[in-house]
A = this chain, B = another copy of it.
Amino acid sequence: MPVPTIDRRALLGSASLALVGTGGAVAPAQAAPDAKAAPEPKAVPPEVTRILARYVVGARYADLPETVRHEGARTFLNWVGVAIGGSHHETLDVAVSALKPFSGPPQAGLFGRTERFDIMNAAFLNGVSSHIFDYDDTHLKTVIHPAGPVASAILAYAEMNPVSGADFLNALVLGVETECRIGNAVYPNHYDVGWHITGTAGVFGAAAATGKLMGLTEQQMVWALGLAASQPVGLRESFGSMNKSFNPGRAASNGLFAAILASKNYTSSDGMIEAKRGWANTIATKQDWREITEGLGTRYEAALNTYKPFACGIVMHPAIDAAVQLRGENHLTADAIERVDMKVHPLVLELTGKTAPRSGLEGKFSIYHAVAVALVEGAGGEKQFSDRAVADPVIAALRARVKPVVDPAIRPEQVEMTVILKDGRAFDRRIEHAIGSVERPMSDAALETKFRDLAEGILPEAQVRRVMDLCWRIGELPNAGDVARAGVQA
């Protein structure tokens, strides 16, 4: 008997139509009887969830290209550095004290601290710590910060259940691959409307990577991805509050939670990514399934990861780069500057348009502050986004003379800046790709300098050197959990 399924899309207005997107669960034969009322059904998507699960379950470290392994180690080292750096921020103090009474056995440590938690809370807390300064890694195609959700989950797991460094690095790459490919499939619409994509796509990465280390079967991996799909995290409205760093942390613990349940055969549906009322159709208006399923094992999103030389959102980096360059070349001082004209991409003002930030955290969302402090101090590190820097009267005064203008012809990685001095002189700089981009990557040495700056005052220098060495050699370590043990306070 044919099932007289109705196509709900025919009952909805155009807005909901768009929201429903590809009618994954509705085979063409089951479309609404009134063909004129219903939109042309798009092609039925492939079994995206299963294809991805099969790939993750089968992928071997031996098959990873050397460039991908090295980028994985860079991703890991950068993440450990920012997690140590954030470890004594008020945000983490608050979270640690809130969660301590509920923690399970002391299974995993926190970078830069002495406390130990069960692995789900440890994953959350290290994930929060690594994003507090907004200084972590960025997959520029999606603005996902890939390491936070994935590395936080698998390192906690690895501390409790010994795994080789090769398996660990393989899982890290696969987790990053999973979240970035899923992010590619729905970006930009998904991000534009308000989701914090690091948390909504990141949860898949955490589930896939932990599931890989646990040795899930293909079916269990399908369920892990399904339970991950049920737990997206984060909205852009929270940017500028502690809630922003909450998101990668919670994505890590949610993904771990999903994999742990799936490992005992807690079931989900088989098509949670692609089904009509699955994740992608519910949470976004764009679904490009090929981004998830094509080139698995040959094209690596994980190789496109980038690292920030400046401790703030990536959209401000071209402007900071220009300001640092102009200051250094021309010995600029704040009192000599009449004003700073800039042409910027529209996202710059949308994301970082705060004219009068009141805290270091808010300073990360102020292009006015970022440019002013870079001109005054010649840098854009964590110290430049502190409460101290934001309250500095010289910097605050210069902020008001920073005049960004949106120019749709400017790409996100570009800026055009003119610093006009009171004596009438003017200095121009056009940035095509900011330092830290795929085109102008930070060197391994620059990553070490960043790491040392972040760890200063938290871990002794010799310990910092040891942790960095372990990170570079992650793929050869007999026990990946050693990195976690090496990175805590004595």
Say which residue of B1, B105, B236, B271 sits within 8 Å of A400 (CB atoms). B1
Kindly state whether residue A261 has any CB partner on chain B within 8 Å: yes
**What count of chain A residues pass the 8 Å CB interface test?**
86
- Most B C-beta atoms less than 10 A away, residue of A95, A104, A223: A104
Q: When A and B form their complex, which 3 residue pairs have the shortest distance between CB atoms, in order from nearest?
A: A15-B18, A194-B282, A194-B277
User: At the interface, yes or no: A480 with Cβ under 8 Å from chain B?
Assistant: no
* Contact, CB under 8 Å: A8 / B277: no
Check if A230 is an interface residue, CB within 8 A of chain B: yes
Closest-CB distance, A101 to chain B (whole angstroms) = 8
Check A189 for interface membership: any CB of B closer than 8 A. Answer: yes
Chain B residues with Cβ below 8 Å from A349 are 3-6
Tell whether, in the assembled complex, residue A269 and residue B282 are in contact, meaning their CB atoms are under 8 Å apart: no
Write out, one digit per residue, whether chain A residues 93-106 have a CB within 8 A of any chain B CB (1) or not (0): 01101110111110
**B229 and A278 contacting across the interface, CB-CB below 8 Å:** no
Q: Are B285 and A269 in contact (CB under 8 A)?
A: no
* A268 contacts partner chain B, Cβ-Cβ < 8 Å: yes
Contact with B along A179-223 (1 / 0, CB 8 A): 000000000010011111001000000000000000000000001
- Of A163-171, A239-247, A300-308, A422-430, which binds chain B? A239-247
Oligomeric state, in copies: 2
A210 CA to B19 CA in the complex, in Å?
Answer: 33
Q: Could you tell me the distance in whole angstroms from the C-beta of A223 to the nearest C-beta in chain B?
A: 8
Assembled-state Cα–Cα distance A466/B270 (Å): 42
When distances are taken between beta carbons in the complex, the residues of chain B under 8 Å from A405 are 4
Q: Is residue A276 within 8 Å, beta carbon to beta carbon, of the partner chain?
A: yes
Residues of B within 8 A of A278 (CB): 194, 235, 237
Do the beta carbons of A193 and B268 come within 8 Å of each other?
no
Does A233 reach chain B (CB closer than 8 Å)? yes
A336 at the interface (CB under 8 A from B): no
Do the beta carbons of A94 and B264 come within 8 Å of each other? yes
A residues 90-125 near B (Cβ < 8 Å) are 91, 94-95, 97-99, 101-105, 107, 118-120
Contact, CB under 8 Å: A269 / B237: yes
| B16 and A192 contact, CB distance less than 8 A | yes
A346 within 8 A of B: yes
Interface string of A399-419 (1 = CB under 8 A from B): 010001110000000000000
Listed by A's residue number, 26 A-B pairs whose Cβ atoms lie within 8 Å are A4-B404, A4-B406, A15-B15, A15-B19, A15-B189, A18-B18, A19-B189, A20-B193, A94-B261, A98-B264, A99-B260, A193-B277, A193-B282, A194-B282, A230-B235, A230-B243, A230-B247, A235-B278, A236-B282, A237-B277, A237-B279, A238-B268, A240-B269, A241-B267, A243-B266, A243-B272
Given contacts A230-B243, A243-B227, contact A15 B238 (CB under 8 A): no
In angstroms, Cα B458 to Cα A355, docked, is 62
Q: How far is the CA of A82 from the CA of B103 in the complex (A)?
A: 28
- Whether the Cβ atoms of B243 and A235 lie closer than 8 Å is no
Closest B residue to A406 using CB positions? B6
Q: Is A12 an interface residue (CB 8 A)?
A: yes
A434 in the interface (beta carbon within 8 A): no
User: Chain A 278-289 against B: per-residue CB contact (8 Å), 1 yes, 0 no?
Assistant: 110110010000
Interface string of A18-59 (1 = CB under 8 A from B): 111000010000000000000000000000000000000000
Contact B193–A19 (Cβ < 8 Å) = yes
